[in-house]
């Protein structure tokens, strides 16, 4: 439990493509024990699940619905080639190199964007203004002002973008920006999906998968003032701690697998030290997704249920041993002692 015995925490959800359905199982376990999440951060698949969860909570709907909503995704439609690839059927693969050269990605990403926009609209959420929250006891910074933040990698400005927090840097009103647009950017696996162009006051920026720079932003909501946290931040990761220490080598055979390999390598290199900090390990749920690939979009219903069950089991194990007061006593910064 959190300080004072309440079951409140900010939530961070790691990216991982298809494996992200395991996040819904973990959320289901938290929900069954009465937890709520004032703020949610996510990257890529974590951004997709996190946006739906934030919308459910904003509308007063049960968090448990996130599992059934996730099951309405048709993963096979993620491979939505543009013209002429979409009319060539199995031969569409022949157009993939051309799509990468011209549009910087094999697939359009329209199915994901349209599906999410529809789901959020049904829950009464369109823009980040719909997820804005009043928090007079926050630390006064923008990262406590919204119920959702997603990460994207701005390769034009060579920086990590936290959306909606950073929209002002682009000369845009955060409250007017569409949630589905930001999530689509967060999930733009390089070379796999076409990148997203963000038009701002200083020109156009190209946004790709947030996991390139921060796949697990576990410290996103940590206070920036000299007051102790009111509640914990907990996160859900899509691997089991220690299982993938020595992964089997994966052949890189084409431009798409090279793009995926580049992203995965950057993720591991950029976040290894931060994520493996003992205090961040202690506040993280580790879901064993071994055997599932990031872009296994042929995953069937039985496999999806297995991932959901793994997520639920991992969260139940975490909650059985979670002690916020013990974590705070060991890990809080020196200035709050």
pLDDT at 11 over 60: yes
Give how many domains the chain has, as a whole number.
Answer: 1
- What's the rounded mean pLDDT across residues 81-91? 60
Residue 1 lies in a domain: no
- What's the rounded mean pLDDT across residues 104-126? 92
Residue 151 lies in a domain: yes
Which residues are identified as catalytic?
A: 44, 209
* Residue indicated by tokens 């076409």: 194
Domain containing 312: what range?
A: 7-86+97-332
State residue 270's pLDDT score.
57
pTM for the structure as a whole: 0.89
Where residue 283 sits, what CATH number does that domain have? 3.40.1090.10
What is the C-alpha separation between 312 and 124, in angstroms, rounded?
A: 27
Q: Which long-range contacts (CB under 8 A, 24 or more apart) does 195-199 make?
A: 195/104, 195/105, 195/155, 196/152, 198/154, 198/170
Lowest pLDDT segment from 39-53, 118-132, 272-286: 272-286
DSSP element (H, E) containing 53? helix 45-58
- What's the rounded mean pLDDT across residues 243-251? 56
DSSP 284-311: EEE---TT--TT-TT--HHHHHHHHHHH
Residue 2 lies in a domain: no
pLDDT at 90 over 90: no
Are 57 and 63 spatial neighbours (Cβ–Cβ below 8 Å)?
A: yes
What is the C-alpha separation between 100 and 285, in angstroms, rounded?
A: 36
Could you report the per-residue pLDDT of 134-186, keeping only the tens digit for each?
Answer: 888 888 888 899 999 999 999 999 999 999 999 999 999 999 999 999 999 99
What is the C-alpha separation between 58 and 254, in angstroms, rounded?
A: 43
Residue 299 lies in a domain: yes
What is the C-alpha separation between 185 and 207, in angstroms, rounded?
A: 6
Mean pLDDT of the chain: 86
Residue 92 lies in a domain: no
Residue 50 lies in a domain: yes
Residue 53 lies in a domain: yes
């Amino acid at each position: 439990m959190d300080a004072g015995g309440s079951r409140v925490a900010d939530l961070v959800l790691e990216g991982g493509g298809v494996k992200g359905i395991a996040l819904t199982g973990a959320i289901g376990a938290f929900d069954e024990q009465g937890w709520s999440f004032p703020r949610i951060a996510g990257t890529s698949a974590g951004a997709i699940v996190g946006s739906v969860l934030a919308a459910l909570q904003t509308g007063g709907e049960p968090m448990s619905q996130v599992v059934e909503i996730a099951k309405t995704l048709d993963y096979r439609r993620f491979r939505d080639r543009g013209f002429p690839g979409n009319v060539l059927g199995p031969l569409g693969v022949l157009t993939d190199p051309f799509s990468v050269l011209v549009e910087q990605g094999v697939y359009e990403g329209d199915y994901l964007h349209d599906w999410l926009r529809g789901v959020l609209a049904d829950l009464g959420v369109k823009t980040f203004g719909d997820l804005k929250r009043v928090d007079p006891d926050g630390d006064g910074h923008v990262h406590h002002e919204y119920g959702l933040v997603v990460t994207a990698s701005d390769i034009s400005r060579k920086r990590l973008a936290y959306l909606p927090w950073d929209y002002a840097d682009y000369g845009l009103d955060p409250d007017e920006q569409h949630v589905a647009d930001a999530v689509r950017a967060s999930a733009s696996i390089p070379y796999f999906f076409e990148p997203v162009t963000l038009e701002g006051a200083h020109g156009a920026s190209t946004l790709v998968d947030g996991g390139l720079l921060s796949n697990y932003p576990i410290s996103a909501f940590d206070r920036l003032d000299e007051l102790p946290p009111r509640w914990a931040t907990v996160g859900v990761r899509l691997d089991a701690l220690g299982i993938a220490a020595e992964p089997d080598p994966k052949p890189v055979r084409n431009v798409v697998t090279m793009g995926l390999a580049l992203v995965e390598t950057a993720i591991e290199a950029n976040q290894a030290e931060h994520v493996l900090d003992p205090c961040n390990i202690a506040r993280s749920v580790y879901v064993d997704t071994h055997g599932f690939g990031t872009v296994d979009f042929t995953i069937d219903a039985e496999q999806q249920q297995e991932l959901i069950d793994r997520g639920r089991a991992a969260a139940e194990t975490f909650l059985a041993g979670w002690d916020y007061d013990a974590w705070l006593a060991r890990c809080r910064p020196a200035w709050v002692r």
